[in-house]
Homo-oligomer: A and B are copies of this chain.
Amino acid sequence: TRTIKLAVIPGDGIGPEVIEQANRVLDAVLAGGEVELARTEFTLGADRFLATGETLPPAEQQAIAEHDAILFGAVGGVPGDARLKHANIERGLLLKLRFDFEHYANVRPCTLFPGVESALRDPGAVDFLVVREGTEGPYAGNGGTLRGGTPNEVATEVSVNTAFGVERVVRYAFEAAKARPRKKLTWVHKTNVLVYAGSMWQRIVGAVSSEYPEIAVDYMHVDAATIHMVQDPSRFDVIVTDNLFGDILTDVAGAIGGGIGLAASGNINPDGTFPSMFEPVHGSAPDIAGQQKADPTAAILSAALLLDHLGLTTEGDRVRDAVRSDLAARGSAPRPTMAIGDAVIAAIPARV
């Protein structure tokens, strides 16, 4: 028996509900096999901050680091909650984990499953993967405020990009493209405006691409990429882009791929120096929390990515097959959170 140490951070709002189902699916797919999960739950997020004033105490971060992988729900309190004004759970917890644990490849697959209604009239065959840089760029947290709160305030945000950081994610994306049948990579930036970062990205994509002659590479400005994603998403195979563009493009992808309730992600540390973290792309949606209204499919598909990452690709495929047949049978219309978990579990194909 192989024991996998899994850190679970359900978080706030709908996080616990969707993670509950993801955990049930993990148990079901692993039942009777050689792998067992040893879970540690970490109570972190806005609720924890409100209760204790803590965001991510170093000892807990250290404890999380000692796991093999992280399953993450969603964090964030009720918008406008004055007690959270200076909390910034996103930067202090979610982004801190991504940055400190070197989650440089934030992978977000977008597949339109049969039975799912896209927001698009004629989506075609949607099946692409966005590889979003996860540890630098506009998310670096650099910047500041001069003469804050006055009519002369100047606020800056510095996008910090390194050849080291860009090259490693670009390489990851080329490898991802190589492992897929279509062998296409689209890199997205805004080189005509952001000339410093843009030209470095261009140089590095060019250099790495010479090692991958079998991959067809093209470039799009981020604005044009959103148009293509809305008008003809089937043209994409693998997309690689920076942290902020990736944030935006993957929400567009979520919207066209049947909704953010289906969008999974993995924050991958490909070097294995820290645990990778798997989370639905959606947020904590406090307005519907605790009502069994949230779709756990994104969390379940994130758990499938977690299985893949741990080398359990057969189990990952069994989860995706179960989701696929559930969606084919029942579509993506709203159902209670637990009912979707039940249906996916019932649909898990037997081991072969």
Q: A248 contacts the other chain (Cβ, under 8 Å)?
A: yes
Q: Are A223 and B196 neighbours in the complex by a CB distance under 8 Å?
A: no
- In the assembled complex, the Cα of A155 lies from the Cα of B190 at a distance in Å of 14
Q: Are B195 and A91 neighbours in the complex by a CB distance under 8 Å?
A: yes
- In the assembled complex, the Cα of A144 lies from the Cα of B194 at a distance in Å of 10
| Chain A positions near chain B (C-beta within 8 angstroms) | 76, 79, 88, 90-91, 95, 117-122, 138-139, 141, 143-145, 147-164, 167, 190, 192-197, 199-200, 203, 219, 222-224, 226-227, 230-231, 244, 247-248, 250-252, 254-256, 259-260, 283
Q: Are B162 and A153 neighbours in the complex by a CB distance under 8 Å?
A: yes
B138, B145, B256: the one contacting A230 at CB < 8 Å is: B256
Copies of this subunit: 2
- In the assembled complex, the Cα of A270 lies from the Cα of B154 at a distance in Å of 22
Q: Are A190 and B244 neighbours in the complex by a CB distance under 8 Å?
A: yes
Q: Residue of B at shortest CB range from A165?
A: B154
B79, B119, B148, B194: the one contacting A120 at CB < 8 Å is: B119
- Besides A117-B121, A154-B163, 15 more A-B contacts (Cβ < 8 Å) are A88-B195, A119-B122, A119-B230, A120-B120, A138-B194, A145-B199, A154-B160, A156-B160, A156-B161, A156-B197, A157-B194, A190-B247, A193-B247, A231-B259, A248-B248
Task: Kindly list chain B residues whose C-beta atoms are within 8 Å of the C-beta of A283.
Answer: 224
Task: Kindly list chain B residues whose C-beta atoms are within 8 Å of the C-beta of A252.
Answer: 226-227, 230, 252
A325 to chain B, nearest CB (A): 24
Q: Are A197 and B139 neighbours in the complex by a CB distance under 8 Å?
A: no
Q: A119-B120, A160-B154 are in contact. Are A196 and B227 (CB under 8 A)?
A: no
Q: Are A197 and B251 neighbours in the complex by a CB distance under 8 Å?
A: no
Q: Residue of B at shortest CB range from A89?
A: B192
- In the assembled complex, the Cα of A95 lies from the Cα of B226 at a distance in Å of 21
Q: Residue of B at shortest CB range from A80?
A: B219
- In the assembled complex, the Cα of A139 lies from the Cα of B193 at a distance in Å of 6
18 A/B residue pairs, CB under 8 Å, sorted by A:
A76-B192, A119-B230, A120-B120, A139-B193, A143-B158, A143-B197, A155-B161, A156-B158, A157-B158, A157-B194, A159-B159, A190-B244, A222-B248, A223-B250, A224-B251, A226-B251, A248-B248, A252-B252
